[in-house]
Amino acid sequence: MKVKELFDLTGKVALVTGGGRGLGKQIAEVYAEMGCELALCSRKKENCDETAELLVNEYGIKARGYQLDVTSETQVIEVVNQIIEEFGKIDILINNSGATWGASVEEMPLEAWNKVMNVNVTGTFLLSREVGKHMIERNYGKIINIASAAGLTVRPPEVTNTIGYTTSKAAVIHFTKDLAIKWARHNIYVNAIAPGMFRTKMTKGTLDEKEENIKKTIPLGKIGDENMLKGAAIYLASQASDFVTGTVLSVDGGSTL
């Protein structure tokens, strides 16, 4: 098989949570370029609709936006079933929806802690469970969980002060490995990407305040841009990674070394 064929996603269907902006949008863009059909989900459906329209016009693929709160079991079940009905299948699941909260441990509200855990951990579980049932029936699937370099290391408060976020992403990493061994028998590949510091809406406040300090913790001395996650995302979704499961691919400029 030629290399280009290994990375081709023509005929595949991907569900991307948080697909309307940020890292989810970047992943959706590279999948569309490689021929994948896309179901983009977010609490803000208008963002997903806008991105879907953009990708349809640019790449001629099928794409649709869906409103989804990943912490709602009822909504997850309904939307997953709707996507399967409208697209016929789901080959690839990207668990990308995320939340964070900046505060010292002693000032972290329980409500904030619960929100971050519910979105980042429970949401990943619910989507994986429901899409996984469909993938088990088809004996195939690729699940990619967007973890974080923050789930692999710790930093002083001068750099980051988001203990709920870091703890949740560490949980996503362990969830990835555990699910990979549970579902390998069903030909379902479960991997994670651990991005370092990228320029997104979520990180803007932190970068505005602490960018120079953060750069000092990154051996490559730079912040991730809109293209730096695409290679990892296409690799783990395509045939190129058909002997890879339960791994965590760090895309972080060396910050977790």
**Orientation angle between helical segments 123-138 and 163-183, nearest 10 degrees:** 20
Residue 1 pLDDT greater than 90, yes or no: no
pTM score, whole prediction? 0.96
Predicted confidence band of residue 217 (pLDDT cuts 50, 70, 90): confident
Q: For 57-73, how does the pLDDT look when each residue is reduced to its tens digit (9 = 90+)?
A: 999 999 999 999 999 99
Q: Are 141 and 187 in contact (CB under 8 A)?
A: yes
pLDDT value of residue 128: 98
CA angle, 86 as apex, 85 and 87 as ends, to 5°? 100
Q: H helices within 118-255, ranges in order?
A: 123-138, 163-183, 204-215, 230-237
Report the alpha-carbon distance of residue 171 to residue 146 in Å, rounded. Answer: 12
- Mean pLDDT on 101-120: 95
The two structure tokens encoding residue 90: 């789901």
Domain boundaries, the chain: 3-251
Q: What are residue 247's phi and psi, to 5 degrees?
A: -100, 160
Q: What is the DSSP letter of 121?
A: I
128-171 tens-digit pLDDT? 999 999 999 999 999 999 999 999 999 888 777 899 999 999 99
Residue 199 has pLDDT above 90, yes or no: no
Per-residue confidence (pLDDT) for residue 189, from 0 to 100: 98
Please identify every residue annotated as catalytic.
Answer: 165
Domain 3-251, second-level architecture: 3-Layer(aba) Sandwich (3.40)
| 3-state DSSP assignment of residue 185 | helix
